[in-house]
Amino acid sequence: MRAIRRFTVRASLPESLAGLRALATNLRWTWHPPTRDLFASMDDELFRRVRDPLRMLLAVSPSRLAQLAGDEDFLARANAVTEDLERYLTEDRWYQQQQADGPAAIAYFCMEFGVHEALPNYSGGLGVLAGDHLKAASDLGVPMIGVGPLYRSGYFRQGLSLDGWQLEHYPVIDPNGLPLELLTDEAGSPVLVDVAMPGGRDLYAQVWQAHVGRVPLLLLDTDVDANDEDLRRVTDRLYGGDADHRIRQEILAGIGGMRAVRRYCELMGHPQPEVFHTNEGHAGFLGLERTREIITEHGLGFDEVLSAVRAGTVFTTHTPVPAGIDRFPVDLVQHYFGDGRLLPGIETRRVLALGAEDNPGMFNMAHMGLRLAQRANGVSQLHGRVSRRMFARLWSGFDEDEVPITSVTNGVHGPTWVARELTALLGGKHKAWGHNGQLPSQQGVSDEELWALRRDLRQKLVAEVRRRVRDSWLQRGASALELGWITTVFDPDVLTVGFARRVPTYKRLTLMLRDPERLRALLLDEDRPIQIVVAGKSHPADEGGKQLIQQIVRFADDAAIRRHLVFLPDYDMSMARYLYRGCDVWLNNPTRPLEACGTSGMKSALNGGLNLSIRDGWWDECYDGSNGWAIPTADGIRDPLRRDELESAALYDLLGQQVAPLFYDRDERGVAAGWMSMVWHTLDTLGPRVQASRMVREYVETCYHPAATAVEAAVRNSFAGARSLSDYRKRIDTVWPQVKIFDSELTADGLVVGSEVRVEARVELAGLDASEVDVQAVVGRVGDTDELSEPVTVPMHPAGGGLFTATLRLPHAGSIGYTVRVLPRHPLLATPAELGKVVLAS
């Protein structure tokens, strides 16, 4: 019989154990081993199965609960953990100890959040990054509020058919059984936020709240009675459905998300956010909702408000490929915004203009993100450069280097990802290193100890691999009788390579299969064998990705290979943890530069794994020659097959000639000393750099703080700053075409490096005051084209009568060129390139 409806009944806890509920519902337990230990001690065996304190409370027998309620020792430990949590939630942390006042709150919007597998609301890297961002913000005391949708079926769960084809299923989750609380109003009724839909309908969402340490995470759920049937399904799945489904989700995330944050802050007495972080373009409509709010409350015009909204918005782009950008047909946007009910007071043409791109039929969410945010960034240095190039057309006339998109390299939450055994060995109990100022290698731990610990982690991975391979074969239809061989899958003493990630083409899941004979030889080498664990999900609509998975699975199904290379279905955080901790080598071979950052390799590095990777994303800036290996890239070769051939050959060479020999080169202690020195070096140098705490501090210092200052400057005195900037912008728009540079001239006494030269030019300012522009002389090298490279820029000063002059010293020898340019200047501009306006001498 099938149930027609399901619901979750809460456990009733004895009075003395009531405090356990708070411990179980605050997700800090996911990175706080003592909390997990406490729940495990209620029933070890059971906890190993349920792995989640909240489910534990439901699963423990009433008799055991009764027993624990009178167990002084247990109660004392529960008390200690509760007090620890209380302290963690209330004490001053890094943010409170800063000199300058930061924003009172920051709202962080993302379409997915991967905090833990107990809250399956993510598909991969973006979500896990968002989860790590919130956790690190919590640890640092940054007053952040996370916002996004809650999907009733999360992303899909992956299985395999007998012939290796990806199967998808979508278990329905019941939020009542998750570590979530419904946001209710003063009267105790669930809060509903709503956004207008075409045809006079409304889309309602209730708001679930997760506690990620100190950070509330608000999740919007449309599966409520108030909605029409089709609207109930808006938050059914992550990244499922067509463009119409997606735009509804994004309208809900951005506009509904803003309304949820407002309501939450009112009800909780929480300060309203001053800064809004759009993590990837999907939630970009939030900027429009804030525009609407200010227009409604303060009666300003759209342009004036835009300056204030931009000041407080930070936009992070994660996509280095134009094809990866989220876009909608303009007609669809028109359909949702056109009747004016969704955002009263905002004309649809203004909305459409924000998402305009080259193709007049498409609305571009990344362009809107950039136009609604005064600060924008990519997620690694290389990705910053790629993004500046990719979006350069929005700032035409500027060099790519000047495009106002910076970078903040991603990081990962150490306390979540580092094996606790390793944390314990290295001393910094429950803390990510980098905090106590001591390098792991200085903590008096020997090579042998760390080597033994790494073996222990590898052994745990091997056990997990066997368990999962067995489950997978049973699910594919094998009988237990034919699975005896699984007890010999993998060997805890063999060099273990991990490769796990989503399966878009650019990540090249099957690069290792390019020459199957060479791979086979590496796996089966008698003296220096290698074993490889592979995992990854393909987007359900991506047939090509599923074919790649099938190729790997078929290769792994071969009886000669299956004990040495495995594909584990259903890659998620629960599996990832074992992989990052147990693999000796973390392999990554994307087509450069299509990996924006990548974070799995960081998690491996934190556990003493060595990266073997194409120099893409984070590895491009972090590889130093002795913390792992760089697979040479055949950049510039256009034929993808040829490129794969060259890069895979380099990969086999590295594995066979450098990686394996180093791993198997043992000294009299049985330790691979050369290997261990690379491991120590990795822990020492990458350990602090790849932490999410480093990332969040960088966001605070370079984005949130300046944004809060800019907002303050824009809104002070009834939006005087915003009005002034908007007036200025309007004037620039009209007069700019008349601004011209004449008679520019460079005079020099001598032409050697360092000699002083004088640049002058006459500028027609078209009614602007000299203080309202920056006139600059730019000197740099010139090659075959007259393009200036390594430019040096100096300000030119007005000398009366429209003349501007500057003196400077020649910076380079060789062929030198110069030019003069005029840029807008206003105190509220974050960079001179911001308005995308420049006049160059001709």
Ligand X SMILES: *Cc1c(COP(=O)(O)O)cnc(C)c1O
Contacting residues toward ligand X, per CB under 6 A: 124-125, 128, 501, 572-573, 576, 598-600, 603
CA–CA separation, 114 vs 759, rounded Å? Answer: 56
Phi, psi (5° rounding) for residue 293?
A: -55, -50
Q: Which CB atom, from 291 or from 588, has the smaller least distance to ligand X? A: 588
Q: Which CB atom, from 53 or from 601, has the smaller least distance to ligand X? A: 601
Q: Which CB atom, from 277 or from 603, has the smaller least distance to ligand X? A: 603
Query: How far apart are CB 621 and ligand X at their closest, in Å?
Result: 15
Q: Which of 760, 734, 782, 755 is nearest to 841 (CA)?
A: 760
CA–CA separation, 146 vs 200, rounded Å? Answer: 30
CA angle at 587 for the pair 636 and 615, rounded to the nearest 5°: 35
Query: How far apart are CB 9 and ligand X at their closest, in Å?
Result: 31
Q: Which CB atom, from 208 or from 618, has the smaller least distance to ligand X? A: 618
Q: Which CB atom, from 166 or from 600, has the smaller least distance to ligand X? A: 600
3-class SS letters over 136-195: HHHHHCCCEEEEEECCCCCCCEEEECCCCCEEEECCCCCHHHCCCEECECCCCCECEEEE
Give the distance from CA 150 to its chain's centroid: 18
Q: How many CB atoms lie within 10 A of CB 66?
A: 12
Query: How far apart are CB 325 and ligand X at their closest, in Å?
Result: 18
> Does residue 718 contact residue 821 with C-beta atoms inside 8 Å?
no
Query: How far apart are CB 535 and ligand X at their closest, in Å?
Result: 9
Query: How far apart are CB 432 and ligand X at their closest, in Å?
Result: 16
Q: Which CB atom, from 256 or from 504, has the smaller least distance to ligand X? A: 504
CA–CA separation, 445 vs 683, rounded Å? Answer: 13
CA–CA separation, 118 vs 31, rounded Å? Answer: 13
Query: How far apart are CB 128 and ligand X at their closest, in Å?
Result: 4
Amino acid at 830: A
Q: Which CB atom, from 292 or from 603, has the smaller least distance to ligand X? A: 603
> Does residue 591 contact residue 643 with C-beta atoms inside 8 Å?
yes
For the chain, the C-alpha Rg in angstroms (whole number) is: 29
Helices marked H in 116-163 — which ranges?
Answer: 125-140
Q: Which CB atom, from 52 or from 572, has the smaller least distance to ligand X? A: 572
CA–CA separation, 62 vs 75, rounded Å? Answer: 16
Query: How far apart are CB 196 and ligand X at their closest, in Å?
Result: 36
> Does residue 159 contact residue 169 with C-beta atoms inside 8 Å?
yes
Q: Which CB atom, from 577 or from 697, has the smaller least distance to ligand X? A: 577
Q: Which CB atom, from 107 or from 576, has the smaller least distance to ligand X? A: 576
Q: Which CB atom, from 523 or from 579, has the smaller least distance to ligand X? A: 579
Q: Which CB atom, from 364 or from 416, has the smaller least distance to ligand X? A: 416
Query: How far apart are CB 597 and ligand X at their closest, in Å?
Result: 7
Query: How far apart are CB 131 and ligand X at their closest, in Å?
Result: 9
Partnered with residue 741 across adjacent β-strands are 763
> Does residue 145 contact residue 260 with C-beta atoms inside 8 Å?
no
Q: Which CB atom, from 32 or from 537, has the smaller least distance to ligand X? A: 537
Q: How many CB atoms lie within 10 A of CB 169?
A: 10
Query: How far apart are CB 571 and ligand X at their closest, in Å?
Result: 6
Query: How far apart are CB 552 and ligand X at their closest, in Å?
Result: 16
Tokens matching residue 294: 């200010």
Query: How far apart are CB 57 and ligand X at their closest, in Å?
Result: 26
- Strands across the sheet containing 740-748: 740-748, 756-764, 803-809, 797-798
CA–CA separation, 355 vs 334, rounded Å? Answer: 12
CA–CA separation, 687 vs 541, rounded Å? Answer: 37
Q: Which CB atom, from 598 or from 780, has the smaller least distance to ligand X? A: 598
Q: Which CB atom, from 598 or from 824, has the smaller least distance to ligand X? A: 598
Phi, psi (5° rounding) for residue 35?
A: -65, -45
Residue 169 C-beta-side C-alpha neighbours within 13 Å? 9
Query: How far apart are CB 183 and ligand X at their closest, in Å?
Result: 28
> Does residue 244 contact residue 195 with C-beta atoms inside 8 Å?
no
Tokens matching residue 533: 């664990």
Continuous segment of H or E residues that includes residue 695: helix 692-699
Q: How many CB atoms lie within 10 A of CB 117?
A: 17
Tokens 């620039």: give the residue.
732
Q: Which CB atom, from 128 or from 746, has the smaller least distance to ligand X? A: 128
Query: How far apart are CB 46 and ligand X at their closest, in Å?
Result: 25
Q: DSSP string covering 462-520, please? A: HHHHHHHHHHHHHHTT--GGGGGGGGGSS-TTSEEEEEE----GGG-TTGGGSSHHHHH
3-state secondary structure of 412: strand
CA–CA separation, 134 vs 266, rounded Å? Answer: 21
Interhelix angle 286-298/705-735, nearest 10 degrees: 80
Tokens 């890239």: give the residue.
633
Query: How far apart are CB 603 and ligand X at their closest, in Å?
Result: 6
Query: How far apart are CB 573 and ligand X at their closest, in Å?
Result: 5
Q: Which of 770, 585, 619, 775 is nearest to 690 (CA)?
A: 619
Query: How far apart are CB 766 and ligand X at their closest, in Å?
Result: 49
Q: Which CB atom, from 143 or from 687, has the smaller least distance to ligand X? A: 687
